[in-house]
Structure 1
Amino acid sequence: MVVNARPAAGGGRWVEISPERLKGWLDGFYGRHDGATENGLTLTGASNGDTATLHPPPGLDAVADVDSLLAGVSRPPRVGLLLARKGALAVGVVDGTHVSTSKVERFYVQGRTAAGGWSQQRYARRRDNQASAAAQKAADLVARVLLPALPDLAALVCGGDRSMVDAVLVDRRLEPLVALRHPHLLDTPEPRLEVLRDAAVAARRVRIHLVP
């Protein structure tokens, strides 16, 4: 199944394919282009030079060719999942598409105020303090859930608000997880258990850059 097709910076478009549909999508690409050549994870259509560059899911970064990718997605690795937005966090360990361990939490962070002058400064300081406290509590939860599973994790997949994720991961205890962080940030709504489960499915998809 093709999902979330969207324009790509610099040209072309991104599509995402569920692992179960990847082989069928590849067969379709070959069929539409009267065959194709393979150079690592890049396919080039024989009829018009269209290209499809496949990006493996988190935890399969060492995959270097299409056959290895097909084998890898059939045995998805264990990954950690961290979703964060202002005032909310969801963290879990994912085996395949199953969230085996998880924790979801909300934190109070005051919204912005329209007041000016001294009042605005006071609210801003309070809001910053609340955001810092939320990030610290979030880091505690991430450490509690993910660090015990660290030896078996192939990657850390993050989603939500990048600045909030970064604020959580500055905690020195989480440095081993930062080393596993996958560069692609999942686009997710406010973290909840249902959102965490949906993100576990999304994390397995193969991202493909199509040109044109």
Structure 2
Amino acid sequence: MSFEVARTASVPPDRLAGWVERFSNRHGTVSIECEPDAVLLHAEDGAQARLVNRWQPLPSGPVTIPEVVAHLTRPRTVGLLLVRRGADAVGVADGGELVAHRVSRHYVQGRTKAGGWSQQRYARRRQNQARTAYQQAADDAFEVIVPQLPTLSALVTGGDRQGLAEVLADRRLEALARLPQRHPVLPVPDARLAVLTDAVAAARAIPIELNAEAVTG
């Protein structure tokens, strides 16, 4: 069942149980409806909350609220791949801890306003630099993430979609590219260690969509 979303919140795993308890206290008895990619909470006053599930689907059959919370917040090991033309950051996170990482900087020239033959030569040089940058990112992913493949539940990506596609097209990363990628591509401005650390928190947070009754009630 869908509803018109009035607001979306992002709740850290350690706060989800408290959030659900407050929702129930504020809006009354709550029933549960499970979807493959979400859990809907229906309160007796009409308030609704959709807890987005970015992990594997819940088991079929009736579930309780504690089971839902446990599923959405269970620590998992994930790979992280952030790609920009000027840098890449790769890592492995176990729960909220970044246990392996590497950041590489790349030199890719900016665009030029020059025309004619010089512009074409400049564009070719820039394309070659970008290709080299993506190759380095693939090397980093192969050396840092791929050895941990048996332990990974998902791959979380961020940055430049075209760059990500080129990196994951590397034959050495075929198995990595087949990992579940249920998280949206993170809009990272730069691939740095601090941004990679933030990506771990973003990957673990639970998005919650609320209808108008849940917001105003």
TM norm structure 2: 0.84
Report sequence identity in percent: 46
- The CA distance in 2 between the partners of 1:199 and 1:90, in whole Å, is 10
- The CA distance in 1 between the partners of 2:73 and 2:209, in whole Å, is 21
Structure-to-structure mapping, 1:1-212, within 5 angstroms: 11-40=5-34, 41-48=39-46, 50-57=47-54, 60-63=55-58, 66-183=65-182, 184-212=184-212
Secondary structure of the equivalent of 1:203? Answer: helix
Q: More displaced, 104-113 or 60-69?
A: 60-69
C-alpha deviation, 1:211, in angstroms: 2.6
C-alpha deviation, 1:31, in angstroms: 2.7
- The CA distance in 2 between the partners of 1:199 and 1:161, in whole Å, is 15
What amino acid does structure 1 have at the position aligned with 2:83?
A
C-alpha deviation, 1:39, in angstroms: 0.6
Q: 1:75 to 1:181 in 2, by over 3 A?
A: closer
Secondary structure of the equivalent of 1:196? Answer: helix
Conserved 8 A contact 2:86-2:133: yes
- The CA distance in 1 between the partners of 2:169 and 2:58, in whole Å, is 29
What amino acid does structure 2 have at the position aligned with 1:149?
Q
RMSD, matched Cα: 1.8
- The CA distance in 2 between the partners of 1:172 and 1:68, in whole Å, is 39
Deviation sequence 1:130-170 (CA, Å, 0-9, x none): 11111111101101111110011111111122222122111
What amino acid does structure 2 have at the position aligned with 1:148?
P
C-alpha deviation, 1:24, in angstroms: 1.3
- The CA distance in 2 between the partners of 1:73 and 1:47, in whole Å, is 25
C-alpha deviation, 1:11, in angstroms: 4.6
Structure 1 residue runs without a partner (length 5+) = 1-9
Secondary structure of the equivalent of 1:191? Answer: coil
Deviation sequence 1:8-53 (CA, Å, 0-9, x none): xx753322100111011112222332233211111123213x4221
Structure 2 residue runs without a partner (length 5+) = 213-217
Q: Name 1:3's counterpart in structure 2.
A: none
